[in-house]
Amino acid sequence: MLKLNQCKMVALALPLTILTACMSDSENKTIEQTSVKTAKPNIIFIMSDDHSERAISAYGSKIIDTPSIDRIANEGVIFNNSFVANSICGPSRAIMLTGKHSHINGFTDNSSYFDGSQATYPKYLQQAGYQTAIVGKWHLASDPEGFDYWEVLRGQGHYYSPEFITNTPSELTVKKEVIDSHTKQPKTVLENTYHGAYATRKTGDLALNFLEKRDTSKPFVMIYNHKAPHRNWMPDVDDLGLVDTSNLKVPANFYDDYTNRPAAALQELEINDMYLSYDLKLREQDYQDELPDVRNGLYAHWQRLYNRMTAEQKVKWDAYYNESNKEYQAVKGDAKALLEWKYRRYMHDYLSSIKSMDNDIGRILDYLDENGLAENTIVVYTSDQGFFIGEHGWFDKRFMYEETMRTPLVIRYPNGIKAGQAVTDLVQNIDYAPTFLDFAGIDIPADIQGVSLKDRLVGDATELERDSLYYHYYEGIEREHKVAKHQGVRTKTHKLIHFKDVGVDHYEMYDIVNDPSEMNNLYGKAQYRAIQQDLHQQLRQLRINYNVIKG
């Protein structure tokens, strides 16, 4: 059991603005710069929401440039086989915090409630003398615990004029009564509403504010989480037009017919079914009730999101989209042309929100350089999972297929990690917590299920001793997007998935090397029987190892 420090940390007792009042800026920076070789490393963990590695130029993307994320990769390590254990927002975040699979940490799907009393890596670091903070997206229903300072989006959060809740009130803060999603009882939160702000930029502002006003006598860990590029992909009005998707071609398997993959055929993830208003940014006058968006009330929701913008922001927004929407009027009578227009519009908005986020990450990296913090700070960039950006004709995540089980992972630490490395070992988001504890010199608790990547990162190990990964998606066919419950094993060359839900019970098996798009289900074919049997055995062993079943 984790024993937490009972004394109040200084960041909770005092406003952030006076944490460093006893020392001048020059004295603080001198101490930081002269002690970087001996101090425990600082940690900045940057996470986006739904970022496909195929939308990162460091991973070879030709559809977008992401210079800030690339900078972390080029100055550190890029992981080319990084995966999640449950490809959906809240569960993935809980896995990262605890280093444990969903069935152990208790947050199995997005209707769950994170038990904040359990051990997490920020709590261990806090106990070891770290100052801990989280800004941006939390999305775990309960309030953050184990953080000296936190300011996080309420729930999913909004792109424009976002509301944040906090444990450190300011002159902007108001007390607000809300209904707790777990207890269903009223509770009071401290809320800041940033009228006219854009969530990505505001999250960066909060991160910089913490860095500027932290307790410089302590190492720090800051979790810096972005809402972007989560649905409904509302770009910053100042970045509209920076991404050109007018000639973007659809992926090779965009017109997938899901042959021999019945669970794939049941899903509701298709770009063709996107809402013209909420997803694709058409205003009512653009289609005059041609589709049921208006009638089913979703248009009203979209209008509320639009109205979160200031008058000036609306002028910029309308100037761009009113012109761009003319193409819709030209193609709406042609089903194929309309579908490909939807794809290009989706990709424009998705990629534009990523551009804004990448720019904001650059602000943090520049601050570290300018303040002598870069050498002794571990900087991690990842996403809570990958995302479909047209593959199989889809958006969203959930499936164990490569596009969403994969997630970007780049790590920089000049004091300890050689730059320019590319790692192909199998890693998973259960590994983040033990890695941070290991770098901080903290013994890794026996109940953490991930493995530390430290020895691999610093060169003390040539490869990880891991041949396979376990995956389990819990939400099911009766929930949003109708993706059947499934679990499986992924090795370095093959994948076995068992879909089992209401009306669904079948297996899929893929040769990842020769069929990376997973279009050819090999399960049950005689020539692959030996591989199939081996994958079944590996899946059973992983389920035993991770306490899913008893041995």
**Which secondary-structure segment (H or E) carries 543?**
helix 529-545
- At 402, the pLDDT band (50, 70, 90 cuts) reads very high
- Specify the pLDDT at position 66: 99
Percent of the chain with pLDDT over 70: 91
- Specify the pLDDT at position 89: 96
**Which secondary-structure segment (H or E) carries 178?**
strand 174-179
- Rounded Cα gap, residues 176 and 374, in angstroms: 38
> Would the pTM count as exceeding 0.75?
yes
Query: Each residue of 88-140: pLDDT tens digit?
Result: 999 999 999 999 999 999 999 999 999 999 999 999 999 999 999 999 999 99
Q: What is the DSSP string of 438-452?
A: HHTTPPPPTT--S--
Residues 6+ apart with CB under 8 A from 430: 85, 95, 96, 99, 100, 101, 448, 449, 450
Give the residue-averaged pLDDT of 179-187. 85
- Specify the pLDDT at position 29: 46
Greater confidence (300 vs 389) lies with 389
- Residue 277 pLDDT > 80: yes
* 148 close to 126: Cβ distance less than 8 angstroms: yes
- Specify the pLDDT at position 228: 99
- Residue 6 pLDDT > 80: no
All domains of the chain, ordered by start, with CATH?
237-348 (no CATH), 471-545 (3.30.1120.10)
- At 181, the pLDDT band (50, 70, 90 cuts) reads confident
- Specify the pLDDT at position 39: 78
- Specify the pLDDT at position 30: 41
- Specify the pLDDT at position 269: 97
- Rounded Cα gap, residues 491 and 511, in angstroms: 10
- Residue 79 pLDDT > 50: yes
Residue type, 229: P
Residue type, 151: E
Nearest in space to 161 (alpha carbons), one of 225, 236, 211: 236
Q: What distance, in Å, lies between the first and last C-alpha atoms of the chain?
A: 25
Percent of the chain with pLDDT over 90: 85
- At 7, the pLDDT band (50, 70, 90 cuts) reads very low
Number of alpha helices (DSSP H) and beta strands (DSSP E) in the chain: 17, 17
